[in-house]
Amino acid sequence: MTHPRATLRLQLHQGFTFDDALAQLDYFAALGVSHLYLSPLTTAQPGSMHGYDTVDYGTVSAELGGEGALRRLAAKVHERGMGIVADFVPNHMGVGGAHNAWWLDILEWGRHSAYARHFDVDWHSPDPALRGKVLMPFLGAQYGEELAAGRIELKFDPVAARFYVQYGPHVCPICPTDYAVLLQSANRADLNTLAGPFQGLTTQPDDQARAAAGRDALRAFVESAGTDPIDFALESYSTADPVARDRLHRLLERQHFRLAWWRTATDEINWRRFFDVTTLAGVRVERHDVFEAVHKLLFRLYADGVIDGVRIDHVDGLADPREYCERLRQRLAALRAMPPFIVVEKILAHGETLRDDWPVQGTTGYDFMNDVGALLHDPAGAAPLAEAWAAISGDDRPFQDYALDARREMLAAYLPAELDHVTRALHRIARELPATRDTTYASVHRVVAHLAIYFPIYRIYPVNGLRSALDNRYFDVALEAARRALPRASLAALGLVDAWLGGSAPEAAASAGNSGGGVKAPRTAQAGAGSAQASTQSNPPLSHALIAQRTALALFSQLTAPLAAKATEDTALYRYGRLLSRNEVGADPDDFARTPHDFHVANRLRQRRPFGLLATATHDHKRGEDVRARLAVLSEIAGDWSATLRAWSTLNQTHRRNEGAAGTLWSPGPTVEAMLYQTLVGCWPPDLDPGDEAGVHALAERVAQWLLKALREAKLRTNWLSPDEQYESECQAFLFDILAPQRRDGFLQALAGFVARVAPAGAVNSLLQTVLRLTSPGIPDLYQGTELWDFSLVDPDNRRPVDYASRAAALDDRAPAAKLEEWRNAQVKLATVRRLLAVRERAPELLREGEYLPLMANGAQAAHVIAFARRHGNAWAIVIGTHLAAGLLDGDTPLVATERWEDTAVELPKGLAEASLHDWLSEITHTVGNGNALALRDILKAMPVAVLCTLTRG
């Protein structure tokens, strides 16, 4: 199987299994994709709707149909010459509950568990209550309250012959070192005999084998005598009796876990989480044995030809992403003859590119989603929309300031334990050196917090404990900002931390404390990893220092990445509302618009990795691709939109809650109200009549779900940790009031009328976005169902079931241009996708990796055109699209009237004179004249976009 030419992302769960995917295979093949891109296949927590909470890396999810169903799907896929790309989650596992055997084993045996080093657990916590223990912050209330209420119960599993404590769905095994006491508590001779093998037991590996033998005897006893004797012993630990409850408490205090209220996680968690999600524990995949255990099934499926490529989830969570990618590629390459296909989920900041030394095909496409999204926006709208937002919010700061505020809050309120882990790793380095032993924990903590807050990208990627020149380009931004913000007394500590975080090799860092307050430690990273390694080998004592420095760097990077994500994507993007179409994963709202020239530059860079994915929708997007495309139109009519916002706010003023109440903020508040109106404009279906009560109510239910999430993610007047349910209810009541049937001649009519006005230009944007994704360098990725209009909102709305039957029924051979008149049913988009996937099938190299040539437009409307050529050998494709169309459209069809183009023409590359070019979207063939230019009044008379090829459909 070759590398993909186009992928289709499918979200698998118990409601859409391998067999369900197989049932749609005819449609997927007819659409023209080459590979199914499947969400995680491994066994996840029961009922998981996403699969990212893996509990067993060794088995294919039974809820998805199991390995047999996966192999059936793969066999049929391969029969059609197609392939499978599997999403894989190496960074974290689902914990809590009762299904992760690795996690349960460390709860049972502590640091001597065979899996103790599989997870990033700090077994040496400075808190005596957590030393040698795993914090289990899953209780709904204070530990003492839950214990007294009888919700923490001691139980016995007769099949596993195991004692355990249960709290709701959560299971914590009791260490077998306590089995003797438990069995003897019944004061029965038979149980006393069974207690024998557990007497004097330790947690050492040899004693774990002895415990297994004791369990075998216990299991045999229960099989013959039943569980009544064991139940009698459990009565001694019943929470109904104060004495027994105290006995249970003392038993729990001896275990290798510490049950705790869920609120303690923020401050006291002593293991690495995925972001701030306490049900997902970080996995130490950088360890060779863990890497092999985590990937065993993946490697087997790849070796057997079941899967053909891998998508790596959240690569920035790993200790060393580059090293991981190298190891993964080496292992996969040894299993199959063809080069492995690997893409990584990576968020790139503005101006950042994927590191050249990562041996992967590319990213999953957030970078392209940002580039094409910014292209759809009119830069002239940035300032007036910012002024309108400042008037609404009372805050004229740029988005960057919102993000900095959010970073401070996230670090203080959501990630303080993670900040503590980095600080302690650095403080340990300080204590090892006489020159720096008096550097205090508090000073290091202060410095690390400032560096993390001002860090401009997700993370850096040092090699052997040293930052590269490229790393320093970003690290120095944070360093200088911290230097300006910190008190002068902290500058000496800043210099030390700079050195210990890879600014100097360990031997140089050791003397950095003598360099004077705030003076930069010498940059030695440019010497390269080889010199650091050589020093380590020639001076054995340095090995410990190097390990300490690498550990601190990994922890720092595993702090900055989740901090950036939580502060930006999950907080600031829900607070700042200049124009929500730029509030997207991987985007920067301050980077408001891109010119065609900017887009061409990005596409030429993209040619360096022609097998990277091109996405415009994902399972993690904030708004569907067509919501963003429609909202982008508001940048072209900024003044009108600002006036519309004011009018709607006045119209709906009577539906606000608590307005005018003394000392009370009204609900929903001006910023939430403004963002709600944008959301309604963006997601209103093109064919929804305001008089359709059922349709409007269904939309309101979806938007209400978005609204609740948006309010809590913003973390201003409510949040996930301590929700203000009254405020949330008032906001949702406002939404349902303004969309109530009695408003059909008021706000509903105004809303629908405004949508009707901007929707044609939004459809032009959508079709342009679709064409650019399918013709730019790389591999286009389709997200399930988005071949029709995608007016979805953030998850779970963007993961709703897809009506594949209607999509399959809409497939035919008619050209997209023939369907433009009825554009509201979205079949023009579906036809465009299918036609351009057919081009990619006919000439795979042409659009994937062919030469990319920006084309110039001349004439009256040159500013409203984007065009480029692709060439591979003798094959050509000319891509021309309408750009910023709002001011050019006259009717309700997304097409610029021919006369409006006047003399506008696109200049073609030399060598195409007299060439015959067939437009795959309109079925019109054009002959290039001697002037070597194409007049847009001819090229764009049937569709707002054109893809003209030297290839005919044939």
Q: Do 427 and 321 share a structural domain?
A: no
User: Cα dihedral sign for 866, 872, 874, 875?
Assistant: negative
SS (H, E, C) 751-795: HHHHHHHHHHHHHHHHHHHHHHHHHCCCEEEEECCCCCCCCCECC
Mean pLDDT of the region 730-735: 98
pLDDT per residue as tens digits for the range 371-424: 999 999 999 999 999 999 999 999 999 999 999 999 999 999 999 999 999 999
The pTM score is 0.94
Q: Do 481 and 418 share a structural domain?
A: yes
Q: Identify the CATH number of the domain in which residue 341 sits.
A: 3.20.20.80
Confirm whether 776 is domain-assigned: no
Q: Please report the pLDDT score of residue 517 as a whole number.
A: 43
Peptide bond connecting 844 to the previous residue in cis, omega within 30 degrees of 0:
no
Residue 662 has pLDDT above 80, yes or no: no
Confirm whether 315 is domain-assigned: yes
Q: Lowest mean pLDDT of 159-173, 333-347, 504-518, 869-883, name the range.
A: 504-518
pLDDT per residue as tens digits for the range 834-852: 999 999 999 999 999 999 9
Q: Do 592 and 557 share a structural domain?
A: no
Q: Do 229 and 109 share a structural domain?
A: yes
Q: Please report the pLDDT score of residue 524 as a whole number.
A: 41
Q: Do 185 and 115 share a structural domain?
A: yes
Residue 540 has pLDDT above 70, yes or no: no
Domain range spanning residue 725? 373-377+580-756
Confirm whether 273 is domain-assigned: no
Return the closest-CA partner of residue 552 out of 645, 422, 665: 422
At 512, is the pLDDT very low, low, confident or very high (cuts 50, 70, 90)? Answer: low
CA distances 747 to 358, 645, 650, 736, Å, are 53, 12, 10, 12
Residue 125 has pLDDT above 80, yes or no: yes
Please, what is the average pLDDT of the chain? 94
Q: Do 158 and 295 share a structural domain?
A: no
- Rounded to 10 degrees, the C-alpha dihedral 734/738/740/743 comes to 150
Confirm whether 505 is domain-assigned: yes
Place of tokens 């993961």: 799
Confirm whether 575 is domain-assigned: no
Confirm whether 773 is domain-assigned: no
Q: Do 117 and 80 share a structural domain?
A: no
Q: Please report the pLDDT score of residue 507 as a whole number.
A: 67
Please check whether residue 465 is in contact with residue 544, taking contact to mean a CB–CB distance below 8 angstroms: no
pLDDT per residue as tens digits for the range 454-487: 999 999 999 989 999 999 999 999 999 999 999 9
Residue 302 has pLDDT above 50, yes or no: yes
Please check whether residue 885 is in contact with residue 894, taking contact to mean a CB–CB distance below 8 angstroms: yes
Exposure of 259 in the CB half-sphere (CA atoms within 13 A):
30
Q: Do 613 and 745 share a structural domain?
A: yes
Last residue of a domain, one of 694, 721, 756: 756
Report d(CA 540, CA 517) in Å as an integer: 30
At 663, is the pLDDT very low, low, confident or very high (cuts 50, 70, 90)? Answer: confident
Q: Identify the CATH number of the domain in which residue 807 sits.
A: 2.60.40.1180
Confirm whether 778 is domain-assigned: no
Pairing type for strands 153-157 and 134-139 reads unpaired
Confirm whether 272 is domain-assigned: no
Q: Do 899 and 752 share a structural domain?
A: no
Report d(CA 429, CA 10) in Å as an integer: 47
Q: Do 556 and 441 share a structural domain?
A: yes
Phi, psi (rounded to 5 degrees) for 162: -135, 135
Report d(CA 448, CA 418) in Å as an integer: 11
Q: Please report the pLDDT score of residue 118 as a whole number.
A: 98
Residue 527 has pLDDT above 60, yes or no: no
Residue 537 has pLDDT above 70, yes or no: no
- Residues in Cβ contact with 356 at an 8 Å cutoff, skipping those fewer than 6 apart: none
Cα angle 605-609-612, degrees, rounded to a multiple of 5: 110
Return the closest-CA partner of residue 324 out of 349, 295, 347, 363: 295
At 525, is the pLDDT very low, low, confident or very high (cuts 50, 70, 90)? Answer: very low
At 557, is the pLDDT very low, low, confident or very high (cuts 50, 70, 90)? Answer: very high
Q: Do 836 and 697 share a structural domain?
A: no
Across 647-664, b (16+ Cβ under 10 Å) vs e yields: ebeeebeebbbeeeeeee
- What's the total number of domains in the chain? 5
418 or 954, higher pLDDT: 418
Mean pLDDT of the region 106-112: 98
- Which residues sit opposite 647 in a β-bridge? none
Last residue of a domain, one of 686, 721, 756: 756
Q: Do 743 and 597 share a structural domain?
A: yes
At 516, is the pLDDT very low, low, confident or very high (cuts 50, 70, 90)? Answer: very low
Last residue of a domain, one of 520, 539, 569: 569
